[in-house]
């Protein structure tokens, strides 16, 4: 089987959800399933936060700053494609957190064309041809203003400026033939789910089902499920952190990804009207260990093994906990409420929406 490298750009205005989407991509496209995900971080934020190079505060002009950004982006993109060629996985997903055309949103068309030409004669046409697809995530400042924040230390944009930059960024990428726009039509979770479905379409795989139902089940023979349905186990530990804001629940997660470990930081935001949405980002092992110092002393970590498999074109997940020998929790993702359940599984009852079976409650009681 020849190697397949798929290059997808994530773009959009400030506070659009790109970081959370990258976290979901890492969970969806796993090494256990034959995927390697290579992510290229946002260059401008790295230069501002790490190098102190910025187009304000009398440091340099915006045009000079974009010259730095483009040079760094070209270098990182070249390294990422080299890595894609040498990793052992045959299916490689290269995810760009912004890419070269984003720079056009910050300078004039003429300045951008001249700056690009300074790098081996590049043109907009040749740049656009280097990416297979572009997902434009609309900023939360358009239609989800309550979720807009300035959590990125390198970001200083007002809501009005965020809206303007969203328009300018969309215009910059408008020439790409495979541009998808992900707006804020329903809620943040739906937005991320729609983006994930678009990525499945781009890579040519069946879309994940979007309706999620949860069941308490008798402990099945997991070895049999693994053999019969290729159920893939993923070991994970989820730790809840002390709340520093009464409206934000925080947690960190460590999960095994092939032969490696990956780490994530998640915030669940809760508005006074009951609206909830999650944001999540990958973090380093060092950051993970630092967050563990903030663990809620009243809650134990949730240690579990998640098994994922497909049965009758429907995706299933089973969470197995070390504190329960006779019961487990199963999730079914399907648009069809009557979708079949594998005959080996005995459902005790449906627990969709039941607070007793949420991970935070299980961290408290440690039993099913």
Each residue's pLDDT tens digit in the chain (368 positions)?
688 999 999 999 888 899 999 999 998 898 878 899 999 999 888 888 777 777 766 677 888 889 999 999 999 999 999 999 999 999 999 999 999 999 999 999 999 999 999 999 999 999 999 999 999 999 988 887 777 654 444 445 688 888 999 999 999 999 898 899 999 877 888 889 899 999 998 998 877 656 789 999 999 999 898 888 888 788 999 999 998 888 889 999 998 866 778 888 998 888 777 677 778 888 889 999 999 999 999 999 999 999 988 787 788 899 999 999 999 999 998 777 777 889 999 999 999 989 999 888 988 888 88
Domain total in the chain: 2
**Rounded to 5, what percent of the chain is helix, strand, coil?**
35, 30, 35
DSSP 104: G
Which residue segment(s) compose the domain that 236 sits in?
212-365
Residues 166 and 39 grouped into a single domain: yes
Residues 173 and 224 grouped into a single domain: no
Residues 57 and 192 grouped into a single domain: yes
Last residue of a domain, one of 203, 226, 249: 203
Asked if 301 contacts 238 with a C-beta cutoff of 8 angstroms, the reply is yes
Distances from the Cα of 110 to the Cα of 101, 103, 252, angstroms: 13, 12, 45
Asked if 119 contacts 70 with a C-beta cutoff of 8 angstroms, the reply is yes
Residues 123 and 147 grouped into a single domain: yes
Residues 89 and 228 grouped into a single domain: no
Whether this model's pTM surpasses 0.85 = no
- How long, in residues, is the chain? 368
CA distance 198 to 135: 8
Give the closest residue to 144 by CA, choosing from 36, 28, 15.
Answer: 15
Q: What is the CATH number of the domain that holds 173?
A: 3.40.50.300
Residues 140 and 175 grouped into a single domain: yes
Last residue of a domain, one of 184, 203, 222: 203
Q: What is the CATH number of the domain that holds 271?
A: 2.40.320.10
Last residue of a domain, one of 203, 224, 247: 203
């Amino acid at each position: 089987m020849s190697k397949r490298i798929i290059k997808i750009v994530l773009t959009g205005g400030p506070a659009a959800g790109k970081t959370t989407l990258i976290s979901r991509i890492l969970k969806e496209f796993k090494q256990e399933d034959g995927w390697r995900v290579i992510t290229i971080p946002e260059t401008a934020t790295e230069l501002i936060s790490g190098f102190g190079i910025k187009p304000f505060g009398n440091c340099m002009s915006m045009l000079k700053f974009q010259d730095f950004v483009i040079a760094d982006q070209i270098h990182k993109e070249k390294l990422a494609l080299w890595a894609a060629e040498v990793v052992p996985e045959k299916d490689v997903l290269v995810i760009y957190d912004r890419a070269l055309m984003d720079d056009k949103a910050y300078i004039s068309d003429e300045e951008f064309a001249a700056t690009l030409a300074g790098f081996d004669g590049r043109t907009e046409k040749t740049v656009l041809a280097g990416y297979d697809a572009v997902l434009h995530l609309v900023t939360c400042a358009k239609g989800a203003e309550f979720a807009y924040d300035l959590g990125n230390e390198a970001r200083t944009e007002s809501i009005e400026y965020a809206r303007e930059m969203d328009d300018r960024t969309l215009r910059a990428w408008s020439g790409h033939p495979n541009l998808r726009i992900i707006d804020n039509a329903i809620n943040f979770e739906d937005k991320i789910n729609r983006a994930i479905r678009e990525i499945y379409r781009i890579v040519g795989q069946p879309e994940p089902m979007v309706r999620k139902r949860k069941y308490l089940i008798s402990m099945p023979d997991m070895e049999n499920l693994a053999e019969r349905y290729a159920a893939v186990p993923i070991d994970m530990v989820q730790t809840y952190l002390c709340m520093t804001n009464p409206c934000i629940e925080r947690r960190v997660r460590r999960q095994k990804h092939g032969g490696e470990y990956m780490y994530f930081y998640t915030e669940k935001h809760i508005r006074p009207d009951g609206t909830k949405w999650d944001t999540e980002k990958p973090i380093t092992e060092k950051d993970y260990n630092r967050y563990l110092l903030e663990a809620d002393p009243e809650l134990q970590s949730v240690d579990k093994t998640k098994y994922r498999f497909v049965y009758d074109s429907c995706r299933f997940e089973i969470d197995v906990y070390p504190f329960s020998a006779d019961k487990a929790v199963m999730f079914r993702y399907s648009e069809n409420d009557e979708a079949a359940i594998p005959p080996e599984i005995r459902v005790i009852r449906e627990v969709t929406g039941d607070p007793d079976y949420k991970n935070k409650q299980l961290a408290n009681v440690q039993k099913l």
